[in-house]
Amino acid sequence: MINITIGVTSGIACYKALDVCSKLKKLNFNITVVMSEKASKLISPLLFQSLTQNKVYIDMFDNDEIKVSHIELAKNSDFVFIISATYNLIGKIANGIADDFMSTFISACNPKKVTFFPAMNTNMYLNPILQDNLEKLTKYNYTIIKPVSGLLACGDNGIGKLPDVDDIVDEITFIINKTYKYENKKILITAGGTIENIDPVRYISNKSSGKMGYSIAKISALNSAEVTLISTTKTLKVPKGVNKVIYVNNANEMYDAVMDNIQNIDYMFMVAAVSDFRIKNYSENKIKKNDLKDLKLDLELNVDILKKISEIKPRNFKLIGFAAESHDFVENATKKLESKNLDYIILNDISKSTIGFNSDNNKVVIFNKDKNMIDIKENNKEIVAKDILDNIIF
């Protein structure tokens, strides 16, 4: 089990640490809490103790153990997160002051495993002394997660706010799960269903939510790839570590965005569900109900983005297509593999509502150039993404 120590100091936002502990506990981490003396006046240590089922450390001399507890805890902590880190604590650690349990504990830890989440009033955060101290901590391999901007407890509006609990948990799980497996790999990913407008109000699209593409982006970034995501949806949270996001609406915009970002890539995952056709007679004005009875929609073919890319010569990257099939699965998918000259095609069964389009789960089969197949079992899209990437990126 991974041992996480959460350091809680006396910033107003430290109440969020309770929720963070509870969420991390549910993810099966072993959590121990260290509180500064002042933080223990703001929140009862008992709350943390009951949430984590572990002793809460506050006082250097409240030691019922034979071993030196701050050193033992430093040795036993795989990761340390300080939520929130005050001006005072940052100043102490950056300048080698260790005068209570919290500061001696942090000083005894390898800096590489310690992450600070600073939170304070905007003027305090922007104070050059604090900024120097943060720089110093970074230089010594501590990790700093910047606060966000917003309304602060003191009534000011500006930078200094502790991120929301879910964002803190995302940061923490990212740090814990990060690997360097795909370091130096440049990956381009498309996600979501394209939208072809009929008039300013109506459009033709499909059921793609973007979840599969975002999952591929998330797992690529988690493993240190350089990720560019071209997305038709703004409703999904951009995964941590994704380097660039470009939002597009229709197939033509997606094609342009792909062409603008294809230089020097190593892999392209064309996960988006691109509309094969668009409206020929787009109406600048909203079509009135009375006109609808005689309305005929003229359609014209969209560019086949994948096919166009496959014609790039020389092609120094692997091209991966996704096939959404409702029947004759293998035959249809392998036809696309050949006709679009792909390195791999990922066959998606969209005949069931529990997998594929707009679902949290998927079940796919990977075909390589030689039509050898690898069956990936049904799972959450993030696990499916991991399985796909593990079989394609070497």
Segment near ligand PMT (CB under 6 A); pick from 10-18, 48-56, 67-75, 269-277: 269-277
Is 55 part of any known ligand binding site?
no
Segment near ligand PMT (CB under 6 A); pick from 50-58, 118-126, 137-145, 299-307: 299-307
Residue 323 found at the interface with ligand PMT (CB under 6 A): yes
The C-alpha atoms of residue 177 and residue 231 are separated, in whole angstroms, by 25
Residue 272 found at the interface with ligand PMT (CB under 6 A): yes
Question: Taking the CA atoms of the chain, what radius of gyration do you get in angstroms?
Answer: 26
Sequence-ordered alpha helix ranges (H) in the chain = 16-26, 39-42, 45-52, 69-76, 87-94, 101-107, 122-126, 128-139, 165-177, 211-222, 251-260, 289-292, 305-310, 329-339, 381-392
CB-based burial label for 24 (10 Å; 0-12, 13-18, 19+): buried
Residues 6+ apart with CB under 8 A from 84: 8, 9, 11, 13, 14, 16, 17, 117, 118, 119, 120, 162
CB-based burial label for 300 (10 Å; 0-12, 13-18, 19+): exposed
CB of 143 to ligand PMT, least distance (A): 32
Whose Cβ is closer to ligand PMT: residue 199's or residue 276's?
A: 276
Number of H helices, E strands in the chain: 15, 20
CB of 251 to ligand PMT, least distance (A): 5
Residue 322 found at the interface with ligand PMT (CB under 6 A): yes
Q: Is residue 14 flagged as an active site residue?
A: no
Whose Cβ is closer to ligand PMT: residue 172's or residue 342's?
A: 342
Residue 271 found at the interface with ligand PMT (CB under 6 A): yes
Residues 6+ apart with CB under 8 A from 314: none
The C-alpha atoms of residue 108 and residue 77 are separated, in whole angstroms, by 11
Residue 274 found at the interface with ligand PMT (CB under 6 A): yes
The C-alpha atoms of residue 295 and residue 321 are separated, in whole angstroms, by 35
| Residue of 90, 217, 219, 306 interacting with ligand PMT (CB under 6 A) | 306
Residue 210 found at the interface with ligand PMT (CB under 6 A): yes
Residue 358 found at the interface with ligand PMT (CB under 6 A): yes
Residue 152 found at the interface with ligand PMT (CB under 6 A): no
CB of 185 to ligand PMT, least distance (A): 20
Whose Cβ is closer to ligand PMT: residue 94's or residue 271's?
A: 271
Residue 144 found at the interface with ligand PMT (CB under 6 A): no
3-state secondary structure of 65: coil
The C-alpha atoms of residue 94 and residue 7 are separated, in whole angstroms, by 16
CB of 341 to ligand PMT, least distance (A): 12
Residue 365 found at the interface with ligand PMT (CB under 6 A): no
Is 381 part of any known ligand binding site?
no
| Residue of 101, 344, 357, 367 interacting with ligand PMT (CB under 6 A) | 357
Task: Tell me if 266 sits within 8 A of 318, measured CB to CB.
Answer: yes
Residue 305 found at the interface with ligand PMT (CB under 6 A): yes
Is 79 part of any known ligand binding site?
no
The residues that touch ligand PMT, with contacts defined as CB under 6 A, are 208-212, 251, 270-274, 276, 302, 304-306, 321-324, 336, 348, 350, 356-358
Q: Which residues belong to the active site?
A: 154
Which residue ranges make up the annotated binding site for CTP? Answer: 276, 286, 322, 336, 340
